[in-house]
Amino acid sequence: MSDSSKPTLKGIPVVDTELRQSKYDPPDSPSSVGYTSPQRMQVADENDPLRLECGIDFFPINVEYETYGALSANKDNAILITHALSGDAHAAGWSDEADRTKRPWRSDRPGWWDSMIGPGKPFDTDRYFIICSNVMGSCYGTTGPASTDPKTGKPYGLSFPVVTVNDWVRVQERLVTRLGIEKLVTVCGGSLGGQQAIEWAILYPERVQSVIVLAATPHLMAQGVAFNYAGRHAITSDPNFNNGDYYGQNEPDKGLSVARMIGHITYLSDVSMTSKFGRRFQTSDSRGFNLDTEYQVESYLRHQGESFAKRFDSNAYLYITRAMDYYDASEHGDGDLIKALAPTLCDWMVVSFSSDWLYPPSGSEQLVRALTRTHKAVTYVALESPYGHDGFLLETERLMDIIPSFLSTLELRGKTKRSA
């Protein structure tokens, strides 16, 4: 029964769909941004703390970010890319040697959205200056529960404050401002990244010409909250969890692994799982009459769980899923989404994926309806897709059509000029 002690996958093609690219551009390809290295900026210190939504004045906050392309003299060509639950600042290109040494899992693949960012790609680095930063509470360079609390000299663990999408966006605003950028051409992200785009539009109407919201809804539904809860419960039930104080010891990898399995199922659709795995067995043609990993879908899930536990921090998973639960755009309008969106000034693009049941099209339509009620410029693309929530990462071919045309429409409408 001890699955984890056994060798993993035997000859089964395992695809990490969340990171899969249609094909990888090698670093020397003319369409790759090449080797990249993360940068750090402190955006809150003792003299200038950030008042978090929970009420705490917090510092220090260090942000890890990457940029691709060159900022124009007018500083009017910047785009912010926002990442989802398990993402990081490394959106395009290949990690440089120092980063590969620190984070070896990155060495075999480029940034998580490399297919979309680079010379000649939808987020064309010959034209745009692209920024991607890691969210607060994560474990990929920006201050989070694994960071050292300067007051104690130890990792924060569960003494880290509960951060929100709102906090993340205000951290990003500080970063963008300190990069000298007054107005962004667009903020684009999928899933929890899409919710950050919504929050940008609401918090900083004058600072964004447009937002692109992929596979994201104004809030998570009860079912999603429930799945997050079960995942967090798996982590906190792991005896290695030790109330979040596990750094430098055995980590709650088994619990995190179960949490990731649960999450991963919600990123796929029943259709994609059936077509990808069906009821096929891993190594034999028939049932082995045991309780081990036997079906292909089981070995796939095990691989997802185990590899995630190696690269992610359990506390970060708790904090980020909580931010996911908490987000509700309508709170800016005291529960009224139309009122919440009324002050926004940007052009909107909203894209939903038909088989997404975590952030379903009905939720995207709710957003679009509220926007049209308050007379906003909104382009809604409801994609038919079998890939479930992961569609926003897998339907790159279609996003390659949609996104550049939206960005050029912005230019036609003189929006980019106006900001200059």
Which residues sit at the interface with a copy of itself, rule CB under 8 A? 1-4, 53-55, 158, 161-162, 219-223, 225-227, 229-230, 232-234, 236-239, 241, 243-244, 254-255, 257-258, 261-262, 265, 268, 270, 273-274, 276-279, 287, 289-291, 293, 295, 297-298, 301-302, 305, 318-319, 322, 325-326, 328, 357, 360
9 vs 273 by CB, closer to a copy of itself: 273
Q: Is 332 part of the annotated catalytic residue set?
A: no
| Residue among 28 and 285 whose Cβ is closer to a copy of itself | 285
Q: Which is nearer to a copy of itself, 114 or 251 (CB)?
A: 251
Report the distance separating Cα 34 and Cα 14, nearest Å.
26
Q: Which is nearer to a copy of itself, 183 or 303 (CB)?
A: 303
Catalytic residue among 114, 238, 253, 356: 356
First to last CA, the chain: 63
Region for 11 from its dihedrals, namely left if φ exceeds 0, alpha if ψ lies in -120 to 50, beta otherwise: left
Calculate the dihedral angle through the C-alpha atoms of 231, 233, 238, 242, rounding to the nearest 10 degrees. Answer: 120
Cβ proximity to a copy of itself: between 170 and 302 the closer is 302
Q: Clarify whether 191 is annotated catalytic.
A: yes
Of 83, 264, 332, 389, the active-site residue reads 389
Catalogue the E-assigned strands of 199-324.
210-214
- Residue 312 contacts residue 86 (beta carbons within 8 Å): yes
* φ and ψ at residue 379, rounded to 5 degrees: -110, 120
Nearest 5°: phi and psi at 130? -100, 135
Which is nearest to 89 in space by CA: 49, 125, 62? 62
Nearest residue (CB) to a copy of itself, 87 versus 255: 255
* Least separation in angstroms between CB 203 and a copy of itself: 17
Q: How many C-alpha atoms does 64 have within 13 Å on its Cβ side? A: 22
Look at the block and give the residue holding tokens 């260090």: 62
Task: Give the SS3 label for residue 243.
Answer: helix
DSSP state of 289: S
Residue 161 phi/psi, 5-degree rounding, is -70, 155
Nearest CA among 364, 269, 252, 351 for reference residue 310: 252
Smallest separation, CB 137 to a copy of itself (Å): 11
Question: Which one of the listed residues 86, 138, 191, 257 is annotated catalytic?
Answer: 191
Indicate if 356 belongs to the active site: yes
User: What are the residue numbers of the active site?
Assistant: 191, 356, 389
